[in-house]
Amino acid sequence: MAYIARRFGVSLFIIYVVITISFFLIRLMPGNAVDFLYFQLLASHTVSPQQALQQVQSLYGVNMKEPLLLQYVQYIWNMIHGSLGNSILYPGTSVLHILMNALPWTILIVSTSLIISFFIGISIGTLIAYFRKSKFAVLVSTIMTVLSAIPNYIVAIILLYLLADIHHIFPTGGAYSPEVAPGWNIPFLFSVARHAALPVIVFIITQVGGWSLGMKSSVVSALGEEYITSAHSHGIGSRRIIQSYVGRNAILPLVTSLGLSIGFMVGGSVFIETLFNYPGIGFFLITAVNGRDYPLMMGAFIIVTSAVVLANFLTDLINQRLDPRTMQK
Partner 1 sequence: MSGFRELWRILRRNPSAMLGFGIIVFYLLMASIGPLFVHVSNIENPLAAYEPASWAHLLGTDYAGRDTLAEIVDGSTPVLIVAVIASTFSVVIGVIIGLVAGFLGGVGDNILMRIADIFLTIPSLPLVIVIVTFIQSSSPFVLAAVIAVTGWAGLSRSVRAQALSLAKRDFVEAAQVQGLSLYNILIRQLLPNIGSYVAMNFLLGISGAIYAEVGLFLLGIAPFTASNWGVMLNFAINQAGSIYTSQSMLYLFSPMVAIVLLQVGFVLFTRALDQLFNPRLRTQ
Partner 2 sequence: MEDFIHIKNLTVSFRTARGLLRAVDQVTLRLRSGEIFALVGESGCGKSTLAYSLLNLIPEPGFFETGGIVFQGIDIVQAKYRELRNLRGKLISMVFQASMNSFNPVLRFKNQVDHIFDAHPEVWPKRSEGYAYFSELLTLVRLSPDQVLKSFPHELSGGMKQRVAIAISLLLRPTMLILDEPTTALDVLNQRLVLDILRDLHSRLGLTVVFVTHDLGVVADIADRVGVMYAGKLVDVGTLEQVFYDPARHPYVTGLLHAAPSAFQAVRARPIPGSVPNLLELQPGCRFAPRCDLAESMCRVSEPELVVHSSGHVVSCHVMSRMEAKEVMVQ
Sign, CA torsion 290/292/297/298: positive
Among 116, 137, 157, 255, binds partner 1 (CB under 8 A): 157
Q: Which does 260 bind (CB under 5 to 8 A by kind): partner 2, partner 1, none?
A: partner 1
- Whose CA is closest to 116, among 220, 202, 219? 202
Listing DSSP states for 50-106 in one string gives HHHHHHHHHHHS--TTS-HHHHHHHHHHHHHTT---B-SSSTT-BHHHHHHHHHHHH
- Alpha-carbon distance of 296 to 285, in angstroms, equals 7
Beta strands in the chain (DSSP E): none
Minimum separation from the CB atom of position 262 to partner 2 (A) = 23
Beta bridge partners of 86: 94
- Whose CA is closest to 108, among 305, 307, 296, 252? 307
In this chain, which stretch among 45-53, 76-84, 95-103, 153-161 interacts with partner 1, using CB under 8 A?
153-161
Minimum separation from the CB atom of position 327 to partner 2 (A) = 8
Minimum separation from the CB atom of position 150 to partner 1 (A) = 5
Q: Which does 158 bind (CB under 5 to 8 A by kind): partner 2, partner 1, none?
A: partner 1
The DSSP secondary-structure symbol of 242 reads: I
Residues that bind partner 1 (CB under 8 A): 10, 14, 17-18, 21-22, 25-26, 29, 32-33, 132, 142, 145-146, 148-151, 153-154, 157-158, 160-161, 164, 217, 220, 259-260, 263-264, 266-268, 270-271, 274-275, 282, 285-286, 289-290, 297-298, 300-301, 304-305, 308-309, 312
Residues that bind partner 2 (CB under 8 A): 225-227, 229-237, 240, 244-245, 248-249, 252, 322-325
